[in-house]
Structure formats: structure tokens, C-alpha cells
Amino acid sequence: MLNYRNILIVRTDRIGDVVLTTPVIEAVRTNFPNANITVLVSKTTRNLVDGNPYLNDVLIDDRQGRFKGFFGFWRLVAQIRSRKFDVAFIFHTKKRTNLLCFLAGIPVRVGYKDKNYGFLLTKGFVDRRHFGEQHEVEYCLDLLRKMGLNVASPSIFLPTDPKAEEWAQEWLKNNNPSGLKIVAIHPGASDSTKRWPAGCFIGLVDKIVERHKCLVIVIGAGAAVELARELRVQCARPFIDLTGQTSVAQIASLLRRCHLLISNDSGPMHLGAAAGIYVLALFLRNQPGINPERWKPFGPKGFVLSNRPDEAVRLGIDGSVVSGYKDSIQVEDVLGIVNDLFERP
């Protein structure tokens, strides 16, 4: 019987990945109720695990600050070594994370074995995630199952940040005093081939506001900022642009107060699912490993529209688009689901 007392969970990638690993944190706590459980995440996702009741501590892999470069990496190795962990469950299987746990002397290192120094794992399992046969939540939990741990029905968790909650309440008081239903839209994505065209979002915003007399807010950062600027110029109906103005914690608090989020395949759709609201996700690249089966919003309030496989946006070896259509999902398709969700409580 496993008797780990000091456990490290490693997930140093992006927003959606961290959210979808939260069922692991709960399951580990259930199996080891008296253990010390620590999670290692990137600086940008700290808000997603701070305040998680199943954790004892959070470590930050600040690759742009203290742990940057060769010497920074060794500082992180030393910090983790000093914690004397019994086991590391590694979900971001990159060379850095596998090497980090090996050099830190963690005796049991569990993860999916691939070409990214997978040979450094002591419990390495065959990696089938690139086939996209099941949801990412289940791939994460499978590592625990393969170790003989008990896993109950999974649920994702989003901690509450008191300051962000206070901010959201004040924002609502100032911007939605009449209590209209709120629809959030996230037009961005880190990958340009996953972005539904701005023209489609423009038509959608106008029709949603006209039909449902609701408040539309546009959220996101990075590419979403420029896209929102285009919407401001061309939309006939009003909306509130919050792109580039909110933290991850503030977005999460605001989403809790929304009725619906419409999003490209990107991290905020997982925030919406964790917040317990309706989420309609748009998948333009319906291919194994990046398909809806693996990455759709988790839970009963998640809905998906995706390109058919023959319409999916595909890239060549050099990263250029070789086939597929960004606009094969029609505005009317999205609006049909939106209309249905407005009838639901």
C-alpha cells in the first residue's frame, strides 16, 4: 500500500491545463488525507491554485524571474530538493519538469513517458494523449489510477479570490445596475488558427444584444485586445471591452456572474466551466490531440461547435495553413445554441 507523506504535483503550463488538473489535487488528498501536498505551477496560473482547500503549499516556477536561465533552474532544483518530496506526479511532461524532479532527488516520479526525458521517470506510462481519445481530465486521473489510487467522479475547482470578488461586485454595481444577463465573449486564442474570424464575432454580438437585451462583455488578453478593438469599430450594438484590463482572478470572479461564455478553444473556456456557467466553445482545428473530445469545456454546462474533420484548419510542417476554413462555423449555428441557453435557468 502506498504511504506517501510529502507529495508534489507538477503542472507548469497554461490556464486550461491547470484548471483541468484540479480533480487530481482533490483525488490525491482523498487518497492521502494526512499528507503534505504541494503544487508547482507557472507564475501566470498561481491564481488558479491559491486557496485550493486540498493543498498545503504552492510553488512557482518563475522562468522570467528568479528561476530564469541555467542558474535559475539550479536554484529551483535546490528549493525542491530541500522539500524532500516522496513522490512527484508530473502532468506537464517537458524536459525541464522531468529533469527538475530527477535532479531534485524525488525518489518516485510518475508521468507519461515520451521523448522529453521520459526515461527519467520511475513510473512512466504509455502516452496516448496525442490521440485525443478521452478528456484531458481523464488522462490526468489515469496516472493516479495506474498507481492503484482510488478516483471518484471528478469535478474541476476554481478557488475564490476575496479581492477579485470585491472587484467584480463593484464592477457589476457600476456597469450593470439593472441586473441584465451577462454574456462573455473571448475572441482570442494563442494559436491564430483557432480564432473564429472577427467578422463572425461582430455579427454575433449585434444579434445577441438585439435579441436578448443582455449585457455583452469581451474578455481576454494578447490577441483578444486587437480583436476587441476591431469589434468596437464595427459592432452596431454596444458592449463592454475588458480585454487587457483584468487579472486571471478577476476574470474568474466576473465569469461566475455571467450566464454564458462564448469562446474559442482557449484557456478562458475552462475558467467558465469551472465557474459553473454555460460555455459554448468553438473548435476550428478538429484533429486528434487538439480535438473537442480531449479539450471541450468539462461538465454538464459545456457545449461545442466544431468544424467537420474535412473542414478543420490544418497546418503544414512550416506552420502555414494548408487547408480548412475558419468561418465554416456559421453565426446562425452559434446563435441557435445561444437562444436555447437563454431559455435555461
What's this model's pTM, rounded to 2 decimal places?
A: 0.93
User: Are 137 and 195 found together in one domain?
Assistant: no
Percent of the chain at pLDDT > 90 equals 90
**Would 153 be classed as within a structural domain?**
no
The one-letter amino acid code at 43 reads: K
In this predicted model, what pLDDT tens digit does every residue of 207-247 receive, in sequence order? 999 999 999 999 999 999 999 999 999 999 999 999 999 99
User: Are 323 and 205 found together in one domain?
Assistant: yes
Percent of the chain at pLDDT > 70 equals 100
**Would 127 be classed as within a structural domain?**
yes
Please state, in angstroms and as integers, the Cα–Cα distance from residue 115 to each residue in 95, 118, 285, following that order: 8, 6, 24
- Kindly compute the dihedral angle of the four CA atoms of residues 177, 237, 210, 247, in this order, to the nearest 10 degrees: -50
Q: Which domain holds residue 132?
A: 6-146
**Would 156 be classed as within a structural domain?**
no
User: Are 184 and 142 found together in one domain?
Assistant: no
CA distance 29 to 158: 16
Give the strand pairing for 321-323 and 314-315: antiparallel
Q: Give the count of domains, the chain.
A: 2
Mean pLDDT value across residues 56-69: 95
CA distance 141 to 246: 31
Which cell numbers hold the place of 256? 461566475
Q: Is 80 exposed, middle or buried (0-12, 13-18, 19+ CB in 10 A)?
A: buried
Q: Which of 146, 172, 207 is the last residue of a domain?
A: 146
**Would 151 be classed as within a structural domain?**
no
pLDDT above 80: residue 317: no
Q: What are phi and psi of 218, to 5 degrees?
A: -110, 125
User: Are 75 and 190 found together in one domain?
Assistant: no
CA distance 41 to 43: 7
Report the CATH number at residue 317: 3.40.50.2000
**Would 177 be classed as within a structural domain?**
yes
User: Are 139 and 171 found together in one domain?
Assistant: no
